[in-house]
Amino acid sequence: MSENDQEIQHPAPFPRYADTSLIRGKFADTIQEIIEAIGEITLVVRREGLIELMTFLRDEPSLRFDYLSDIGGLDLGEFASPRFAVAYQLYSLDLNHRLRVKVFLEEDDAHLPTLWNVWKTSNWLEREIFDMFGIVFDNHPDLRRILMPADYEGYPLRKDFPIKGY
């Protein structure tokens, strides 16, 4: 076998997904469900304990989710209960793995604690969700509209928002 015929070692498939066994035991009261489908892992969690869970996900050496890549809002419709969901997309630059954390919220209690003290990038992402869906992030340092004018009424990405506006 010549030098050119050497077996090529390929890295692990991109991206990898985090091992949830450590998280399951430590946050049993916060985690409602762990969904593993199509190679993706989603933690469905309660609002209570969210900051502690996210801080752990960032700081735990075997997880090191040091990058909050996105936060997405979702309106399931005015007749659904719970009506809203917020999904956090986490990524570990060091370990090359991903995790989604999802929180469901009732319409009359649509607020979450801010994660600004955990990941600074959440500042603008939380403002966007507030602006488009009306979900409030408690203790956010600057929670105000970011896309719509300051005096705009309503939340354009809610399913009950009129197509032509008010």
User: Model confidence at 10, in pLDDT bands (50, 70, 90)?
Assistant: very low
Taken in order 57, 63, 69, 73, is the CA torsion positive or negative? Answer: negative
Nearest Cα to Cα of residue 103 among 47, 55, 30, 39: 47
Mean pLDDT of the chain: 90
Claim: this prediction has a pTM higher than 0.85 = yes
Which residues on neighbouring strands pair with residue 141, listed in sequence order? none
Q: How far apart are CA 135 and CA 6, in angstroms?
A: 56
Burial of 165 (0-12, 13-18, 19+ CB in 10 A): exposed
Q: How far apart are CA 145 and CA 77, in angstroms?
A: 22
| Predicted confidence (pLDDT) at residue 143 exceeds the cutoff of 90 | yes
User: Model confidence at 12, in pLDDT bands (50, 70, 90)?
Assistant: very low
Structural domains of the chain, ranges and CATH numbers in brackets: 12-138 (3.30.460.80)
Q: How far apart are CA 120 and CA 68, in angstroms?
A: 9
